[in-house]
DNA sequence: CAGAAACTAGACCGATCAGTCTAGTTTCAT
DNA sequence: ATGAAACTAGACTGATCGGTCTAGTTTCTG
């Protein structure tokens, strides 16, 4: 169980930063605390990342890659229908939430603590979000849903709700509820030709 | 349109703090910036609130009261079924999201930027969350849903998802999607005697 | 009108922050 | 074995933070 043993200072910094940024907040986490948690010298941080901001960017990249891995590797490996693959995403979420060091999504946290009107955090989060939504879209379209765009938006909303609920309640239960809600959405979409039309 | 005219320094501080905490983040917002935005002297802040922390608490109180007002005043005033009242909540959310100074939910933001394991922010957010869920529960039970607890959790998740999506996308569209998803959940709950039972 | 309370403007303080720099140590390729 | 690069430990800097304090002005109340 030597968790941070045999890792390069670069990797130890990345892991410590991810954990602390999520657990205590980005602004509330000082460089010094990251260095202590990582067991790495001050100079190494600035040699590898140059600034706290760049370190945060690296953490965001890492988290995005987790999502990409889910969509590009884990889900396609399943031998099941594309609809079941969509639902399997919530099982991946459940595993994520259940990790002892899960303290919310760094993207949500980063957006929450930074300027909402503009800025690189917002841009970066938006770009990665779009890339994730695209992958979700491929799954939904493949499943032959009646109104893919609406389904995607509903599912995206449920996923984000699950993340926040899991962060607030500190329980992986949210993923299970989210899966049930997603099942409702998918069932309604394939069963009802036209829903109510309160246009406004 | 004199927005901050004829208001007491206390109220001007509260409004400025709420806006800035949501728009730029709590830690990223300095006392001085709040004072500038509010047009109020430094001493007045400490006379009325004593600390930045207490000011944040007051902002959280205000936001909680908005939710209580929705559940205790606005929704009961509607002459419609309790199920339609549940859905009307999403119309209130839509109005909220559409405000020019909507930049996310201060509760979510506050939890996101503070220690997740403990602390007064977490406690306060949890307490208010429970009180809001209780009100939602009353509505759901009144609507005669088959499995109220699950429905409540699904709806809570959808509501939180809507808030985050609205924050990230800066669009009130999320409320509309959330309403559609909520309709799916309610429809499935009342139509299907027993859903799939993947009990984990 | 008079006194108290609320309020303003801004100087000021100690703490802490991100980031720099120096000096010495370890690691590693050749 | 040796030199370069990576790394450590920690002192240091300038800026900024939350919060205090003083002095003078406005507003409210009786």
pLDDT, one tens digit per residue, over B119-146 is: 999 999 999 999 999 999 999 999 999 9
B109 at A interface, C-beta within 8 A: yes
Q: Is the CB of B83 less than 7 A from some atom of nucleic acid strand D?
A: no
Neighbours of B185 (CB within 10 A): 25
Q: Which residues of A touch B25 (CB under 8 A)?
A: 27, 112-115
Q: Is residue B198 part of a domain?
A: no
Q: Is residue A152 part of a domain?
A: yes
Q: Is residue A13 part of a domain?
A: no
Q: Which of residues 13-72 of B touch A (CB under 8 A)?
A: 22-28
Task: Scan for tokens 């205790």, then name that residue.
Answer: B72
CB contact under 8 A, A150 and B180: yes
A130 at B interface, C-beta within 8 A: no
A185 at B interface, C-beta within 8 A: yes
Q: What does pLDDT average to over chain B? A: 92
Direct distance between the N- and C-terminal alpha carbons of chain B, in angstroms, rounded to an integer: 56
Higher pLDDT, A191 or B199: A191
In this complex, the nucleotide whose C1' atom is nearest to the CA atom of residue A53 is C18
Distance CA A59, CA A90 (A): 23
Handedness of CA A158, A23, B58, B20 (dihedral sign): negative
Q: A69: domain CATH number? A: 1.10.357.10
Q: Is the CB of A76 less than 7 A from some atom of nucleic acid strand D?
A: no
The parent domain of residue B118 ranges over 58-190
How confident is the model at residue B73, as a pLDDT? Answer: 97
Q: Is residue B131 part of a domain?
A: yes
How confident is the model at residue B189, as a pLDDT? Answer: 83
Q: Is residue A31 part of a domain?
A: no
- Contact by Cβ (8 Å): A158, A178: yes
- Contact by Cβ (8 Å): B104, B40: no
Confidence of residue B191 (pLDDT cuts 50, 70, 90): low
Q: Is residue B2 part of a domain?
A: no
CB neighbours of A12 closer than 8 A, spacing ≥ 6? A4, A38, A39, A40
Q: Compute chain B's Rg from CA coordinates.
A: 19
Q: Which residues of B touch A192 (CB under 8 A)?
A: 187
Q: Is residue A90 part of a domain?
A: yes
Q: Is residue B3 part of a domain?
A: no
Among A58, A64, A67, A68, CA closest to A16: A58
Distance CA A59, CA A14 (A): 6
Q: For chain A, how many structural domains are there in total?
A: 1
CB neighbours of A172 closer than 8 A, spacing ≥ 6? A94, A95, A97, A98, A166
Strand D: positions under 7 A of a protein C-beta atom: 6-11, 16-23
Distance CA A23, CA B116 (A): 5
Distance CA A102, CA A60 (A): 15
The pLDDT tens digits along chain A (200 residues) read: 334 347 899 999 999 999 999 999 999 999 999 999 999 999 999 999 999 999 999 999 999 999 999 999 999 999 999 999 999 999 999 999 999 999 999 999 999 999 999 999 999 999 999 999 999 999 999 999 999 999 999 999 999 999 999 999 999 999 999 999 999 999 998 754 444 433 33
Q: Which residues of A touch B185 (CB under 8 A)?
A: 181, 184-185
């Amino acid at each position: 169980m030597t968790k941070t043993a045999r890792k390069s200072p670069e990797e130890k910094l990345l892991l410590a930063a991810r954990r602390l940024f999520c657990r205590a907040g980005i602004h509330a986490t000082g460089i010094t605390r990251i260095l202590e948690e990582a067991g790495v010298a001050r100079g190494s941080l600035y040699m590898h990342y140059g600034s706290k901001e760049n370190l945060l960017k690296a953490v965001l990249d890492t988290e995005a890659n987790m999502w990409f891995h889910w969509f590009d590797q884990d889900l396609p490996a399943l031998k099941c229908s594309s609809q079941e693959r969509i639902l399997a995403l919530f099982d991946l979420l459940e595993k994520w939430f259940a990790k002892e060091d899960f303290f919310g999504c760094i993207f949500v946290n980063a957006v929450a603590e930074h300027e909402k009107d503009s800025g690189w955090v917002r841009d970066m989060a938006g770009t990665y979000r779009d890339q994730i939504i695209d992958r979700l879209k491929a799954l939904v379209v493949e499943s032959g849903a009646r109104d893919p765009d609406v389904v995607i938006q509903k599912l995206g909303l449920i996923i984000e709700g699950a993340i926040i609920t899991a962060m607030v309640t500190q329980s992986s239960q949210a993923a299970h509820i989210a899966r049930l809600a997603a099942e409702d959405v998918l069932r309604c979409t394939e069963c009802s030709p036209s829903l109510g039309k309160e246009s406004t």
